[in-house]
Chain A
Amino acid sequence: MALYFLKLKLIRFQGIYFKMAIDTERVQTIEEIEPFEAAEEINGGNVVLIDTREPHEYQEAHLENGKLVPPGLIADEIAEAAPDKSARTILYCRSGNRSAIAAAQLQQLGYENVASMSGGIVQWQEQGLPVVSPSGMTAEQRERYSRHTLLPEVGVDGQLKLLNAKVLLLGAGGLGAPTALYLAAAGVGTIGLVDDDVVDASNLQRQVIHNTERIGMPKTASARIFIEGLNPDVNVVEHNGRLDSSNILDVIKNYDIVVDGADNFPTRYLLNDASVRLRKPVVSASILGFDGQISTFVPYEGPCYRCLYPTPPPAELAPSCSANGVLGVMAGTMGTLQANEVIKLVLGKGEPLVGRLLLYEALGTRFTELKVRRDPDCPICGENAEEIPESEMGKFPDYDAFCAGAGGDR
């Protein structure tokens, strides 16, 4: 391909700038190669591959080992990307025009063995050749999650982990509502919701994903409407029913993390025993009045719920929110702390509340952290807990009897 260059220079004359052509009809020839030829050379090694597009195009997809040098920055950045001027250097862009111009520029800079890939990455992909998609995200997703991807602790990789994460929320009520809200906003790709209740006016003081119009609607359906309105990236799975020993393993096995906001002890113990068996981390919180508790149970890495609470309390020590009342904001505080724990677990960053119980008392605005140890005698995760035989899988003790009278409120 022959390129005609007119070198332009600004000349000042009587206070006015004029563009003057100083080199006319300078003809330069560059080498162009087809994508399959480029692929052969690249596979053979010893090729410097330069991507002469803009960063946002590069983010979407580029050739493996392609180094980004945007067209406007060639003079500044090419020496770093391609330090050896005698090395074979192949340039590509979207369709072959920018890389042809860049190839000519490189030749002028003294590069001796330059080629431009004709047809660019478009033709490369049309021929079925592989590209790297560093973001794996659409343009809309890059925009939506830009405040996440700017954080070194999240980045594009972390956001992709969130988009691929599957999180089950046990309860779409006080705790589940704020947790669902922030996990959906964060782009957690699959959110499952277990709840058999319908939206009631008395819920709306704290259950912020439901609204007045949806009173009477199943909470899982109402949650779906809210979540899908907030973030179309989220796949919502409704489990409109209650977990019991016959279905819990089937429900939780498809998720990476379970968030426990259950309103009764039988479900909390059942979830604990099933999650330890399937080695699913559980982020567990509870609220009452102005008080909240939260901890993260990662099976065999830290204690389980039974290590913390071996026996459920009697009914008089286990009042429910409906009997006792709860400050609506408390649900938000503890639910968003649960969402924070989930995100840390998904990213593999920070220090989850493993082996720690965080207490929050809202009237005094006081946080207290307590240590929770694994109980070597724990019947579920202890050192002497017997391996559960295959024939016993899915069989659980009678939790309602175990928790008789203990906060079984609905």
Chain B
Amino acid sequence: MSIEFIGIAATAPHSETEIAASQSDPVQPGYLEELARAHEDAGFDRVLVAHSSASPDGFTVADQVLSRTQRLGVLLAHRPGFVAPTYAARKFATLDAFHPGRVALHVITGGDDADQARDGDLTDKVTRYRRTDEFLDVLRLEWTSATPFDYAGEFYHVEGGLSGVRPPLGRIPVYFGGASADAIRVGGKHADVYAFWGEPLAGIQERIDQVRAAASPYGRDPRFSVSLRPIPAATETRAWERAAEILELTRERAAGARKFFNLDHSQQHGSQRLLEFAAQGDVHDERLWTPIAKVTGAAGNSTALVGSYEQVAQALLRYVGLGVSTLLIRGFTPLADARDYGTLVRLVREQADPAALVSAR
């Protein structure tokens, strides 16, 4: 199979460097449509639709993306705990029925207690991962069971669960993120694709090994995704100049962005790992650049690959060589970057070693 490229959907320009523009008008249907189409034209397979407890609803955003494009898929982020799992299963299955084969679920368990509390979840993180485990158990039953099923767990209790709308193959691909030991345990059991933020190659290798070890007792062999923020340019020199400009703008606007998103990632293992790598050095593996993570507190996917198009493509391919088959890339000016990334998508696909992809399976 080919390498999967995932970009980003957004209802307004609100990257680290754009944040000022979106505060007064957070839902711009025209922008969302243009961004989705740019990804489709650039050869992306999917776009990520993110989730927070203050932001627009992802199901609605995903539906708009799918309605306004022809073949682009979505990776819809969902936090267990706010929608009954049977109903969440029907939500995903219904979206998939309207847009067959184009919907994937990204399970995020939530790393910021305050953001969880905004939507009424006052549990701690350990509890949340136990809940995520049950949520995914029930979700799969609702997707697959042709007869009414019962489920009695710590968090969920269902009698006679049964859905008339089910994914044609009994499942929608489940992506999963999380860096803690609890996350790896639950993700190993459930993930079709395990997603990492952009760590150095050695860090990704370590995490792939951990997830494979957690998955093997369940007879599972997940695929892997890495999220990165490429900063490519015609020459390497020009790319590093761009990186410096982006860092400057991010410094100016970081406080505003934090206020707008109001998220605290300091308790997340994934963020802590990125910050540790950033403390060790600004650049890893020649062009994995970490200062944006440092400035923003590693609030999500925040490490960059800086270089010429060819160099960034080669850097992405080194992750593929570790067994990664999905690349989630988004820029600091998402719309312009989505168009620009078409070159990266093409270069990576042209140069990917089919043998490496087979071993990644």
On whether the two chains bind one another, the answer is: no
Chain A residues proximal to chain B, CB less than 8 Å? none
